[in-house]
Every structure is written in C-alpha cells, then in structure tokens.
Amino acid sequence: MPVDRATRRAWLIWSTAVIVYVAALFHRTSLGVASLEAGERFAVGSAALGAFTVLQIGLYAAMQIPTGLLVDRFGARRVLVAAALVMGLGQTLFALAHSYPLGLAARAVLGVGDALTWVSVLRLAAAHFPPRRFTVVMSLSSALGAIGNLAATVPLTLMLDGIGWTTTFLVAGVATAAYAAVVALKVRETPDGVVQPEPERVRLSVVGRKVAEAWHVPGTRLGFWVHFTTMSTPMLLSLLWGYPYLVEAQGMPAASASAVLSVMVVVGLVSGPVLGGVIARSPEWRMPLVGGYLAVAVGVWAVLLGWPGGVLPQPLLPVAFGLLALGGPASSVAFALVRDYNPLHRVSTATGVANVGGFAAITVMALVIGVLLDVVSFLPPAQAYRVALLSVAAVLVLGTWRTVVWWRRARAAVFAAEDRGEEVPVQIRRGRFDMRLAA
C-alpha cells in the first residue's frame, strides 16, 4: 500500500540515494568534454571513439530490465550500494587506462554501475512518497542529477587542464566507491512501520513473463517511445558528440563549447522541477507537453542541418542546445506513465523497460555518427557533421511516429477501462480522433 504522506526520514533517504544518481550522471557524461583528449590518449578515430559510448550505453540499456528484476528481488538499497562500488571501480580503471581495450573495459564497467541507479532511486521514491508526490520527486531527482552532468562540463574541463587525466578520474572513482558505505547505513527499503513484502525469487522461467506483462501494458509501451524520442538527443550531445561538433564543425574554442554544454545542463536543472510540478497537478498535460517538445526538436534540427554552409552564428548555438535540453525533463513523463499504469510490484521492471528506449536510441546514433564521420572524413568538418547528424533526425522522426501510435492506443485503453466501470489514474477527454480510432 502506498504511504499517505512524505516524512522527514523519507526525504533523508531519498537525498542519500539521489547523490548516487548525481555521481552516475557525472560518470556517464564525463567523456563528453574529454572526447578529443581520449582520442589522442588512445590513438583512435571517430568510429572507435564512438564505440566507447556504444559499449557503455549499450550495456546500460541491456541492463535496464535485469536491474528492475534485481531491485524487485534484492531491494533498492543493496542495488544502489553495488552501483556505487561498480561505478567507482570503472572510473578508477578509466583513470589508469592507457590502452584502447582497457579503456573500453572501463567504460563497460561504468555502464553496468550506471544502469543500477535510476530504477533504484525511482523504486525508493515510489515506496517512501505518496502517489501524488511521486512525479514531483521523480522530476526533482532528474533535475538534481543534472548537477553531475554540469560538473562534467566546465569544471571537468578545468580539472583535466589543471591536474590531468589520471588524477581527475581517479579522485572521482575513489570518492564514488567510498560513498557506498553511506548508502548502506542511511537508506531503507520501506518507511518505518511498513512491512516490506517478501521478495519474489528471480527465476529465468518467470523473467520473460514479467517483462511481457509490463510490455503489454499500453502505458508502458507509450513510456518506452516517449523516452526514446525525448531523452536521446540531449543525452547524445552531452555524452559524446556535442563537444566535438561545437569545436570541429562550428569552430568554437574549447571553453565556449563547454559553456554551451553547461547551458543544456542548466536548462534541464531549472525546467525539470517546473515540468514535474505541472504534470503532477495536471497529468492530462503530460502528452501535450511531450508533443510540444517534439515539434520544437524537429524545428531545431531542421535549422542545425539546413543552415547554409553548415556553420551557424555562434549566438544561435546555445539557444538551439538549450531547446534540445528540454527533452531531458520531458522524458520524465515516460516514468510517470509507467508508475500510473503498472502495479507497484511491477513498477521497477516496467521502469526498466521504458528506460531502455532512450538509451537504445543513443546506442544506435552514437555508433552511426562515428562510422559516418570516418566515411565522409574527406569533407570539411561542418559538412561531415551535417551528414553524420542526419541519423539523429531519422531516429527522431521514427520515435515521434511510434509515440503518436502508442499515445492513441493508450488513450483507447483508458476509455475502454472507463466504459467497463474501472477506476483510471488520469481523467482524459475524448476527442474526434479517439472516436475514429474506436470505429
């Protein structure tokens, strides 16, 4: 049964847990401003550089469903402790790596540790906060995670220039691993007085059934495609290709490029709680807000890719990146949908399913961009990046189409439940297109 109010202890547990997510965002995006230096350190080209992100994010995406099952089985506290230890190990390996294979292995370990964090934080929020507060807490968690992303822009650039690659990443790795002890001491699975349900043992024979049950819920499927379209573009730019695009294609100095990425983080940090508050008070606005973002994103990419010559006036770039950054907060709608349309015992698994969406898109785009950049390396940088980034536009169009399809189907499922006299989590008004779909 959900709790009816948020206590001081709930906020303490949540704040302890969300720091792990802040660290995860730092580690996840730490290659962004270090990408060009990584290319020199490991003596690799664009395709091999893209493989860092493909491997890291590919493992992250592949781990989402197992993470949901692990949280359902062992609890969010244990999984978060493991996340901090594994991320610390991965970043330590990355600090000491001088060969490309060891660097790849380090990013793989980071991807696994990172994958354990977000679902765990959401599970704790669902357990310790009332349903009406869940969306706000979730949006606040996402916004605070942006602090880790912000630390991986200008501050990380200054640290790399000042104390060097090895010391910078070594300190980050050791500090993250040490924080696991704090999580173990402070975090609890359920509020005081609430009996923790007996965990279900994870058997391979039932894994497919649990995933299938979550996937067959239209709200989960809609959450997958919302995450696919909204989260993938801003995260791709933060993770790897935004910094090289600004420096190599747009001719920006390194400090200015880092500042543009910082704009993305600040926009997400400010807009996240605002959006969370809006959809918590008026959940019927969730999908219209997603649709508005997708229309803006299509327009921004049309400008970036269609600008004559490919080199934009530099004052336009922070505006464009800032607008694209709104996709991060908008992606929280995916988890609100999952939370509303799945029972609590399946929320972690369903969250993992939805979370795969954006990271699957990132994995594909990161690989394709790197390969295309190598293929068209004979072109001027601005033209080469224009060709490579067409893959982003293609993924955005695909995701928008599937989002519309499953939005209509999810609405039909809600109306069908209402007609059967069942209680539904969100009251929505029928439109003409709903009538046509039903017909």
Q: What is the pLDDT of residues 74-96, one digit of tens each?
A: 888 999 999 999 999 999 999 99
Residue 244 confidence (pLDDT) above 80: yes
Pick the more confident residue, 33 or 253: 253
Residue 274 confidence (pLDDT) above 50: yes
439 band by pLDDT with thresholds 50, 70 and 90: very low
Residue 432 confidence (pLDDT) above 80: no
Q: What is the pLDDT of residues 189-228, one digit of tens each?
A: 877 656 555 555 656 667 778 788 888 888 899 999 999 9
Question: Taking Cα atoms as reference points, which of 229, 225, 210 lies closest to residue 350?
Answer: 210
Q: What is the pLDDT of residues 325-347, one digit of tens each?
A: 999 889 988 988 888 888 767 77
Question: Taking Cα atoms as reference points, which of 50, 161, 165 lies closest to residue 107?
Answer: 50
Tell how far CA 245 is from the center of its chain.
Answer: 21
Domain ranges of the chain: 8-194+203-438
CB atoms closer than 10 angstroms to residue 237: 24
Q: Which pLDDT belongs to residue 208? A: 77
The phi, psi pair for 361, rounded to 5°, reads -65, -45
Written as one string, the DSSP assignment of 31-45 is: TTTTHHHHHHHHT--
Question: Taking Cα atoms as reference points, which of 235, 308, 295, 300 lies closest to residue 268?
Answer: 235
Q: What is the CATH number of domain 8-194+203-438?
A: 1.20.1250.20
In angstroms, the CA 111 to CA 242 distance is 20
Question: Taking Cα atoms as reference points, which of 111, 137, 135 lies closest to residue 13?
Answer: 137
Pick from 228-242, 343-357, 410-424: least confident: 410-424
Question: CB-based burial of residue 344 (10 Å sphere; 0-12 exposed, 13-18 middle, 19+ buried)?
Answer: middle
Residue 350 confidence (pLDDT) above 90: no
Work out the percent of the chain whose per-residue pLDDT is above 70: 91
What one-character DSSP code corresponds to residue 310? Answer: S
Pick from 56-70, 233-247, 321-335: least confident: 56-70
**Predicted TM-score (pTM) of this structure:** 0.77
Average pLDDT in the chain: 85
Pick the more confident residue, 113 or 126: 113
Which of 187-191, 300-304, 408-412 has maximum average pLDDT?
Answer: 300-304
CB 120 within 8 A of CB 80: yes
Tell how far CA 198 is from the center of its chain.
Answer: 30
Q: Which pLDDT belongs to residue 232? A: 87
In angstroms, the CA 96 to CA 103 distance is 9
CB 391 within 8 A of CB 200: no
Question: CB-based burial of residue 35 (10 Å sphere; 0-12 exposed, 13-18 middle, 19+ buried)?
Answer: buried
